[in-house]
Amino acid sequence: MVTDGEIQDLIAAFGDPVIEKRHAAVTALKGIGEPAVLPLIAAIANATDNDRRWYAAIAVSRIGEPAVIPLIMAMETNPQREFRKYAAAALGEIGEPAVDAMIDGMASDDAELRGFFSQALCRIGNPAVAHLTSRLEDPDETLQHCVTLTLWQMGETGLPSMVGKLQDGE
């Protein structure tokens, strides 16, 4: 069992001038998995510089699916732009396991938050398209508009799916 102190020591290594130590910390935190998620989210929020924030985001993205809901919940409660930018990047790196939760999050009243989710979904690209397309006729108008705009922003990745659904009259 890893202690909170050991997790914090690994997070502190993100500030080490030796790049191998930073990479080793990311690998170790990935190996720790879910117990490292909340401390890494706090590290993204409290980082003193973008390098530390970036390493924390990479580490949490490597943990994968167990980080999705905690990241989204933190983005909903933390309005700091830099935090949201790096948390969204982490969600984008997690990929398809984060797609449905981010689409659900687009029903938020927070326009900036919706934009970050849209950017992350665009980053995921093709694996997100079917999920987005299935929500084009969602009863929530805000969500419906966000899904349409996200597919539009995806360009050649998202547009054919959206146009096909409209032509089929689904």
Rounded CA-CA distance 108/83 in Å is 18
Q: What is the pLDDT of residues 49-70, one digit of tens each?
A: 999 999 999 999 999 999 999 9
In this structure, the answer to whether residues 16 and 90 fall within a common structural domain is yes
Give the domain range for residue 52.
Answer: 1-94
Q: Is pLDDT above 70 for 165? A: no
Last residue of a domain, one of 50, 68, 94: 94
> Into how many domains does the chain fold?
2
In this structure, the answer to whether residues 106 and 35 fall within a common structural domain is no
pLDDT of residue 157: 64
CATH number assigned to the domain comprising residue 75: 1.25.10
Does residue 123 contact residue 151 with C-beta atoms inside 8 Å?
no
In this structure, the answer to whether residues 60 and 140 fall within a common structural domain is no
Q: Is pLDDT above 80 for 88? A: yes
Q: What is the pLDDT of residues 114-133, one digit of tens each?
A: 999 999 999 999 999 999 99
Question: Which one has a higher pLDDT value, 104 or 161?
Answer: 104
The CA radius of gyration of the chain, in Å to the nearest whole number, is 17
Rounded CA-CA distance 11/40 in Å is 7
Residue 113: φ, ψ to 5°: -60, -45
Backbone CA torsion sign across 112, 113, 116, 122: negative
Q: Is pLDDT above 80 for 108? A: yes
